[in-house]
Amino acid sequence: MALVTGGSGFVGGHLIRRLLADGWRVRALGRSVEALAGVQVLDAEPVAGDLSDRAALTRAMEGVEVVFHVAAHFKLWGPMSLFRRINVEGTRNVVEAADRAGVRRVVYVSAAAVVMGRPEPMRGVTEDMPLHKMPFAPYSTSKAEAEEVLLAANGRRAGFSIVAIRPPFIWGPDMPALDHMVETVRAGHFQWVAGGGQALSTCHVENLCHALILAADHGSGGQAWFVSDGEDTTLKSFLTRLLGSRGVTPKDRSVSFGVAWTMAGLMDTVWRIFRRKGEPPITRQMLRLIGKDFTIDIRRARNDLGYAPVTSPADGMRRMRAGEATPAYTAVDGHL
């Protein structure tokens, strides 16, 4: 039995389908009627609760062997207190509940961005790179803090282990961010940062799900691994193809990184002082994620987990252009 937090979301929904195809029994946590209905449609067992309720989490984990902790607050702007409450304290609650419930392993969806520090090019990054926490990046900072909480709890009980998977830009069918990008391009507000030539690693959602399931049974506890599509690209090449899958072509307009960084700082100030709703159109967190070269090395995941991408960028893009739904999964690597 597996428990998935965040099962009604983009990654969680794909993970539930893949787990069921591999023969797992799946339970999914939902904090709203809509979320519970969403996971029930996927044929997972819905359980009411959220990351703030340790008692509910413990009940949800009864009889569970592996917890896949997917749920997170993913925004590119907002108060650090909110990110910490959900991403850090929520993760702490998951760990405590899993320990009490006798869970064998917790597999955490971390983020490649946990190693991003000041905005500078980073190529071929490995797991030896230290975690970074930057005040302008509440999402990546809170994910780094959550990863520390998780991995520090590894082995606190005999037979209890915790691992983390760090994907870069996650993409695939039904990705929510694509709708926003399409709207931005159609409204004429899209501009490339520094021409869009930044080197980029990506991770198709099917490759991420494959890595998560491998991590349930392989690799030493207390470790984190980068995973990706295995083929690096550039921001402009990738986003042009991604937007093209929806029949949208971005104009060839560009702004320098320095100008964009200054604009993002000003917008952050305006949004905070005047308490404007929503996110600013550009943020320093966003620029740190896409504004400079960032590629990762996945050799350690290949060696430790036996990981290899199951979906190529070309095939993933082809299916998105064709409007194909998520394919019926076939078992690649089941659980023990």
Question: How far is Cα 27 from Cα 2, in angstroms, rounded to an integer?
Answer: 6
Can you tell me which residue has the tokens 């005047």?
Answer: 274
- The pLDDT of residue 335: 34
Catalytic residue among 108, 139, 307, 329: 139
Residue 253's alpha-carbon distances to 44, 72, 291, in angstroms, are 45, 33, 15
- The pLDDT of residue 323: 85
Question: How far is Cα 304 from Cα 188, in angstroms, rounded to an integer?
Answer: 45
- Mind listing the pLDDT tens digit for each residue in 69-80? 999 999 999 999
Domains of the chain, each with CATH number or no CATH: 2-321 (3.40.50.720)
Residue type, 193: V
* pTM of the predicted model as reported, rounded to 2 decimal places: 0.95
The yes-or-no verdict on residue 329 having pLDDT over 50 is no
The yes-or-no verdict on residue 334 having pLDDT over 50 is no
Token reading at 276: 């404007």
Max distance between CA atoms of the chain, in angstroms, equals 57
- The pLDDT of residue 330: 39
The yes-or-no verdict on residue 16 having pLDDT over 70 is yes
- Mark whether 139 is an active-site residue: yes
Report, as an integer, the average pLDDT of 221-237: 98
